[in-house]
A and B are shown apart, each in its own frame.
Chain A
Amino acid sequence: MRKAVSLLAQHEEKARVLAGGTDLLALMKRGRITPECVLNISKIRDLSHIGHGEDGSLRIGALTTIRAIEDFTPIRENFALLYEAAHALGSIQIRNIATIGGNICRASPSAEMAPPLLALDANAIIISQEGMRKVPLNKFFAGPGITVLRANELLTEIQVPNLLPRTGTAFLKISRTCMDLAKVNIAVVLRATTRVCDDVKIAVGAVAPVPKRARKAEELLRGKQLAEKTIEEASQVVAEEVEPITDVRSTAEYRREVSKILVKRAISIAFRRAED
């Protein structure tokens, strides 16, 4: 890892970091990017861990494959949205090599793992020769394909704080075929006591230049009874918070309208799970 960071410091902007390769190699083959050099970090052993830290938080090494996340029982049991997002990403072949670090650092607006991690208030651990820093994922994405990572920095770990009791989560995605980038993907983390929403976090993907939180909608729901009318209002606010575009996958109008529906559905699933 020290060598990787020193090489990054040497090459800076000229280098692109290769983890699983599913995105980087595909982008290079499609001629979308032509880096002068590629830094292959896939063999750094201590970056593919998954487990709990001393504080109980979930620690996922940047090189952990999506498949490993999908197969990790504590994730299935406690972080349904992470399991669901991992399961929704690409094919089994892709999930066997794609990594969480790659999925996040690629900063695709539709990145499957981004909305769940945003809704979970995850942090990114970043290192460089100058040391280590911790960046909330909510401040990590700067634009389509752009993150706050400096050219000499490497993402090493994602840390996910533990969930409080009575919290339910959900991830929903719609796409053209069963294996495609999302038209819209949505993650909800919701804590509720007898139908009152104590806290909620909603994150949306593929409907803005970056995956993002729908904070106004969260605000509207917090402390409220989860009545149908309130959820409807919140979903309306989500539709106002998104800035979708039209592309080969969908239209801006559809993405906006369907965001509303997915939010409502995700809230209702998360609520059911919070009650369980």
Chain B
Amino acid sequence: MNNKRQIRLIVNGEPYKVSVEPNKTLLELLRDYLGLTGTKHSCGLGECGACTVLVDGKPVPSCLTLSIAMDGKSIQTIEGVASKGVLHPIQKAFVDHGALQCGYCTPGLILTTKALLSENSRPTEEDISEYLKGNLCRCTGYTQIIEAVIDAAVRLEKSGGGHVTEQGGDFHSEFKDECAIVGRKMPASDSLEKVTGSTKYTSDLKLHKMLYAKVKRSPYAHAKIKSIDVSEAKSRDGVKAVITYEDLPDIRYGYNLLDEYFLARSRVRYVGEPVAVVAAESMEVAERAVDAIKVEYEELPAVFDPEESMKPDPSTIIHEDLSRYERLIPMTKLDVSRPNVLDYTKIQKGDVGKGFEEADFVIENKFITPMQQHCAMETHNAIAEVGSDGTITIWRDTQKPYVLRDWICKIFGVPPSKVRIIVPEVGGGFGGKTEPKMEPLCVALALKTKRPVRITFTREEIFSCTSNRHPCVVYIKDGVKKNGKLIAREMKLVWNAGAYCELSDYVAKAGAISAAATYNVPNFKLDNYVVYTNTPVSGAFRGFGSPQVQFAVEQQMDIIAEKLSINPVELRIMNCLDEGDENALGEKMHSVGSKKCIQKVAERLRCGEIEEKRHGSLRRGRGIALGNKYTIAAPSCAIVEVHPAIGAEDITVEVRVSTINLGQGTHTVFAQIAAEEFKMPVDKVKVVGVNTALTPYDACGTVSSRSTFTVGNAVKRACQDAKNQILKLAVSKGLAASAENLEIKSGMVYTKGVNLQSIPIKDLFAFWGLERFVEDAGVIIGKGFFNPPTASAYYPSACYTHFANGAEVEVDLETGEIKVIKLVTAIELGKAINPLLTEGQIYGGLGMGMSTTLFENIFLDHGKVINSDFTDYKVARTADVPLHNMTEAIILENAPHRDGPFGAKGIGEAVTVGVAPAIANAIYDAVGVRIREIPITPEKIFEALQQNKSH
């Protein structure tokens, strides 16, 4: 196409003259032509605000603005907000308030805020929420963003609109007391880069001569492939390669049950299953070539409902070879009478039959949760390049780099020395970036074309073809005594795995153990079914099975409380597990704190206080929930290198781990742990970005809220190992007779006691020409390994994080509309290493929990997702969440975990789990209807209210 138009425009104060095709958007102009990658692509439909720029001072979606319309306009992007390296007050406020996590939405939010404050210098919170409602954030829940904007308005007024000169704030200060770093609030270490738009995500990377790949996908939910004809696609101009299953080895993949091909061989089992993939000079060419691939199918009967599918005689058998598939770990079992059940397991304690006989009441209910999407702001991206020596390099926003490396080695028959995975900053994960669904295709194409290849999934592909939250049906039957004591609980869980297993067996078992880890029930039985259907594949999603199960359990507790006329708080306290109690899995509970959590929440919600609950057609109600989230027992290791730089006055501590920074701030937490161990300022610690060629082995990945607990421990141990080596060196230099008499602080080794003597650590390194090395050892490398102990034979859990949630809602009796007024959570963490980031996790978890409770549901039509973008699938926005001071995070540190670093446990997932049942219970309190199915919509409430009326 050579009908380019020349336009003149000003970008961040600089004039540009560019020739662009008339169909290029402003977003493409900024990113692809001018290299300003701080402006982000996320939804492409003007729904998310990530691409917001200011045009003549007004915020616009650059993805829906044509470049040619920008002739003569002045554009401001995030790169133009800071002035000569000095942050704008808005940027500074975002940093200080922890108003960013993954950072992908941050540039758009900062620019929109800038426009708001130039129109309205003292906006109310309502003004802010209204103005920012076009900017989606999936991480923060908006609380700290609103705080930052309110504060930014004040700062701007003070500075008279100028920039801020002081930078960094107190987190650069010197180390002061014993525990000055661990437990201190400080902004995430990557904040400055994120507020200035300089962070590079995988989606921002471009390699020389890079090709673009597009996947051909199945339009059928279940079909036999009769033939694939790629000849026409191959012959197209600009097409460099087309591959099908014939180009890949006959290897099935999975985490445990190996049932899935990277490209379908003879059968497709869901709409969107990959069949072929094209690499071409441009995305447009690749897309058109995909359309030219002819695939002949023979449609087969399909089954979409898991309870239908799990019958002994389902309408179709999805995996005829199921019993012959390889399983890596013998943790799963087949139910031979049910051909579509891929895993059936049981938990059993005591005798439920006897328990029900002894019970005064038996209460039975059924609850349903839907398929939902993570909606990370950055879409999935992978780039593969094959070096001249055959080394395969992959850049990918993955949560499991080593699993990916191992699969690449297996598929392509190359040794680990020839594969490296580099993980740039990740624009949100939430469990959604774990499966290797794009990388093997990229590598195969890169090997074939000898050029770098990128795959970017569209939002539609993410909904249909990556993984979603498991839909689940929960049956729960409880036997209780009149006094409220639970004596028997029987549950049946039916998990919809979708067409392939992937993590389903793990998710199902994790959900099951969550049913056993809050309450002390002497007779407990749980049947756990994982079922194939011809729907998109289910996988990990923040909470990993717990939200589905506890939505049921915690509503059931309120149903029991009402039946017995017992206060729901007391009922929970009476039945919950406490320190030393044995749960149904035979684990002795440790670091619990449930009682304190629920008491705190009840107090903050003012439960029991009588208040005016009515206003016109509006009714207020409050609800609580208790809960737990486990962390997996999987080992991890860390490497710590200590060395001085030439001319530097001090040492540097470099931490290497393979934990991904998804926005949750673990790299800051690791830096704090290392700084605490060395008693030095945190900015002298560097946590290296994940690269399997540099950072140590960790097969489990950034999952299961394990980073602080497990990897944090490994970092702590690696620091201790390095410190021991330093102390030995100091002894050899004659500072003391033995290492026991020495301690490390502020880059020095000191003798303990009164006659303080010291030596700078850097002086333990001798000059070696221009370099400094430790004699014999060279550098100091500390190694740390932590393998959490586990006591469960059913599932490898290392620890549980306990919490309580509270919600206050306002329901419109006439329309069924719901407004969440207040969300509270109290969580027993043992120790919050960085309370600012911890609060960020809590607010974000509450926001996501609320969104998934009220708004989110993937709709399928014959297995095809029909709401696969942000126009049709809705996520909570600023004006949907409670006011910022009505979201409350209570961090409890009463029950430190014996194995946790400084007693700390994980938080990332726990905070989302209890939101749904707390809201459901609050709705019942408000209007007397019980909604047993997520999402809890006005439609369902309205219908239930009508039924109540007619009874």
Contacts and interface: CB of A to CB of B under 8 A. Distances in A.
Nearest to A264: B814
Interface in A33-56: 38, 40, 42-43
Given A22-B46, A93-B46, A93-B112, A178 B815 contact: no
Interface stretch (A78-86, A151-159, A201-209, A248-256): A248-256
Interface stretch (B377-385, B471-479, B586-594, B866-874): B866-874
Given A93-B60, A96-B58, A248 B866 contact: yes
B688 interface: no
Interface string B35-58: 000000000111101001001001
B265 interface: no
Contacts of B115: 92
B61 to A, nearest CB: 5
B332 interface: no
Contact of B45 (A29, A67, A96): A29
Interface string B49-84: 100100100111101111011000000000000000
B68 A40 contact: yes
Interface stretch (B343-351, B444-452, B654-662, B875-883): B875-883
B133 A178 contact: yes
Given A93-B52, A96-B60, A248-B867, 18 more contacts: A21-B65, A22-B64, A30-B871, A91-B46, A91-B49, A92-B112, A92-B115, A93-B59, A93-B61, A93-B134, A94-B46, A94-B64, A176-B855, A178-B880, A180-B874, A248-B872, A249-B872, A251-B939
B815 A26 contact: no
A173 to B, nearest CB: 12
Contact of A43 (B44, B52, B61, B69): B69
A180 B136 CA distance: 13
B195 to A, nearest CB: 20
Nearest to B44: A29
A179 B134 contact: yes
B175 interface: no
A26 B877 contact: no
The interface size bin for chain A is 35 or more
Interface string A221-258: 00000000000000000000000000011110110011
B938 A254 contact: yes
22 contacts: A25-B64, A25-B66, A26-B64, A26-B871, A43-B69, A91-B49, A93-B59, A93-B134, A94-B64, A96-B58, A97-B64, A97-B65, A177-B875, A178-B880, A179-B47, A180-B874, A248-B867, A248-B872, A254-B816, A254-B943, A258-B815, A258-B938
Contacts of A90: 46, 134
A26 B69 contact: no
B794 interface: no
A163 interface: no
Nearest to A29: B44
A29 B60 CA distance: 18
B689 to A, nearest CB: 32
B555 to A, nearest CB: 23
B281 interface: no
A172 to B, nearest CB: 10
B650 interface: no
A261 interface: yes
Contacts of A180: 874
Nearest to B287: A31
B134 A94 contact: yes
Contacts of A67: 58
A177 B876 contact: yes
A92 B131 contact: yes
Interface of A: 18, 21-22, 25-26, 29-30, 38, 40, 42-43, 67, 90-94, 96-97, 174, 176-181, 248-251, 253-254, 257-258, 261
B942 interface: yes
B61 A177 contact: no
Nearest to B872: A248
Given A22-B64, A30-B869, A96 B59 contact: yes
Contacts of A250: 939
Contacts of A21: 64-66, 69
B859 interface: yes
Interface string B922-935: 00000000000000
B809 to A, nearest CB: 16
A91 B69 CA distance: 20
B64 A178 contact: no
Contact of A91 (B68, B134, B874, B939): B134
Contacts of B58: 67, 96
Contacts of B841: none
B69 A42 contact: yes
A89 B939 CA distance: 22
A-B complex: 3 closest residue pairs judged by Cβ atoms: A91-B134, A178-B879, A254-B939
Given A178-B879, A254-B938, A40 B66 contact: yes
A42 B73 CA distance: 14
Contacts of A181: 871
B582 interface: no
Nearest to A260: B814
Contacts of B131: 92
Interface in B562-615: none
A274 B873 CA distance: 39
B817 interface: yes
B859 A177 contact: no
Given A21-B66, A251-B939, A258-B815, A178 B61 contact: no
A29 B25 CA distance: 11
A249 B22 CA distance: 34
Contact of B877 (A94, A174, A178, A258): A178
A86 B25 CA distance: 25
A65 to B, nearest CB: 9
B558 to A, nearest CB: 26
A176 B874 contact: yes
Given A26-B871, A179-B134, A261-B815, A94 B61 contact: yes
A29 B28 CA distance: 14
Interface string B671-707: 0000000000000000000000000000000000000
Interface string B267-306: 0000000000000000000000000000000000000000
Nearest to B52: A93
Contacts of A249: 872
B476 to A, nearest CB: 28
A160 B156 CA distance: 42
Nearest to B62: A93
A43 to B, nearest CB: 7
Nearest to A176: B874
Contacts of A251: 939
Contacts of A40: 22, 66, 68-69
B64 A92 contact: no
A177 B850 CA distance: 12
B56 to A, nearest CB: 10
A176 B935 CA distance: 11
Contacts of B68: 40
A214 B869 CA distance: 33
Given A258-B815, A261-B815, A25 B939 contact: no
A121 to B, nearest CB: 29
A23 to B, nearest CB: 9
A38 B66 CA distance: 12
A164 to B, nearest CB: 30
Given A174-B815, A248-B866, A254-B942, A179 B60 contact: no
A135 B45 CA distance: 31
Nearest to A18: B66
A22 B871 CA distance: 12
Interface in B855-871: 855, 859, 866-867, 869, 871
Nearest to A90: B134
Given A25-B25, A93-B46, A174-B817, A248 B859 contact: yes
Nearest to A258: B815
Contacts of A94: 46, 61, 64, 134
Contacts of B133: 91-92, 178-179
